[in-house]
């Protein structure tokens, strides 16, 4: 009898009912959509004021890593309290600021606006495909986690090295790898929610937001390198 229940309800192993899983998924989607607003505001502010234009090389890396890991630590500490959502939205504003330097560079191309919209559309398409797959795939994908973590770690180390090397070819390779790894991470994180493995919608939103922003940034970098048109 227990085997039959487990085969019908993928959340059985986690002790989470379908109603709870649907609630977490719904809240995650709403918060993810909301988190894009501070991201856009942060990016707009950064482009309009040029306040991040000086954050290049090692200085930019220190500010980004310090801010990002500081915010993620704070989100983890506040995810079960009323402060969790504001802290998460503060993080997405910070990420928008950090993204503004690349957006400003892309906007310097004659077709910069089109490249940004293409990257946005491509990211939305990847998310739609992964969300659809997460609802139809029945097998357990938890085994992907360790391999995806290794891939993400390799991308981060490669990105840090390339900050100092400044290789265009290296940037392209890292961007292609990031699109692949974080698209797969998107499926992995969505499947965890669907299966009941993630019950906190703030943690779920943070994971998906990082997937989305990494895919968008990598697509934008590739499009800028390969399709940027100068005046």
Domains of the chain, by residue range, sit at 2-227
> Residues 56-61: what's their mean pLDDT?
74
Q: Exposure pattern of 44-55 as b/e (b: 16+ CB <10 Å)?
A: eebbeeeebeeb
pTM, two decimal places: 0.87
- 183 against 50, higher pLDDT: 183
Which of 26-40, 85-99, 157-171, 177-191 shows the lowest per-residue confidence on average (mean pLDDT)? 157-171
Q: So what's the pLDDT on residue 112?
A: 87
- 177 against 17, higher pLDDT: 177
Q: So what's the pLDDT on residue 65?
A: 85
Q: Is the pLDDT of residue 164 over 70?
A: yes
Read off the pLDDT band of 15 (50, 70, 90): low
Q: Is the pLDDT of residue 224 over 50?
A: yes
Q: What is the mean pLDDT of the chain?
A: 86
Which of 4-13, 46-55, 102-111 shows the lowest per-residue confidence on average (mean pLDDT)? 4-13
Read off the pLDDT band of 126 (50, 70, 90): very high
CB 91 within 8 A of CB 75: yes
Per-range mean pLDDT, top range of 63-67, 142-146, 148-152: 148-152
CB 163 within 8 A of CB 57: yes
CA distance 114 to 223: 10
Q: Is the pLDDT of residue 155 over 70?
A: yes
Q: So what's the pLDDT on residue 29?
A: 93
Q: Is 126 exposed, middle or buried (0-12, 13-18, 19+ CB in 10 A)?
A: buried
Q: So what's the pLDDT on residue 4?
A: 39
Read off the tokens for 70: 């500081």
Q: Is the pLDDT of residue 1 over 50?
A: no
Read off the pLDDT band of 7 (50, 70, 90): very low
CB 201 within 8 A of CB 75: no
């Amino acid at each position: 009898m227990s085997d039959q229940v487990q085969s019908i309800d993928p959340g059985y192993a986690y002790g989470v009912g379908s109603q709870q899983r649907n609630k977490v998924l719904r809240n995650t989607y709403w918060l993810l959509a909301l988190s894009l607003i501070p991201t856009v505001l942060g990016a707009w502010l950064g482009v309009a004021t040029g306040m991040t234009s000086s954050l290049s090389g090692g200085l930019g890396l220190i500010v980004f890593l310090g801010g990002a890991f500081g915010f993620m630590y704070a989100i983890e500490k506040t995810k079960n309290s009323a402060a969790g959502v504001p802290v998460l939205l503060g993080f997405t504003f910070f990420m928008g600021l950090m993204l503004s330097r690349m957006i400003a560079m892309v906007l310097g191309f004659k077709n910069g606006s089109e490249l940004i919209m293409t990257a946005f559309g491509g990211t939305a398409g990847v998310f739609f495909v992964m969300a659809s797959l997460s609802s139809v795939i029945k097998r357990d994908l938890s085994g992907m986690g360790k391999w995806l973590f290794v891939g993400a770690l390799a991308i981060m180390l490669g990105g840090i090295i390339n900050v100092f090397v400044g290789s265009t070819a290296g940037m392209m390779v890292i961007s292609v790898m990031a699109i692949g790894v974080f698209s797969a991470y998107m499926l992995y994180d969505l499947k965890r929610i669907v299966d009941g493995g993630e019950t906190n919608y703030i943690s779920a939103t943070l994971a998906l937001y990082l997937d989305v922003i990494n895919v968008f940034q990598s697509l934008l970098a590739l499009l800028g390198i390969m399709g940027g048109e100068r005046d």
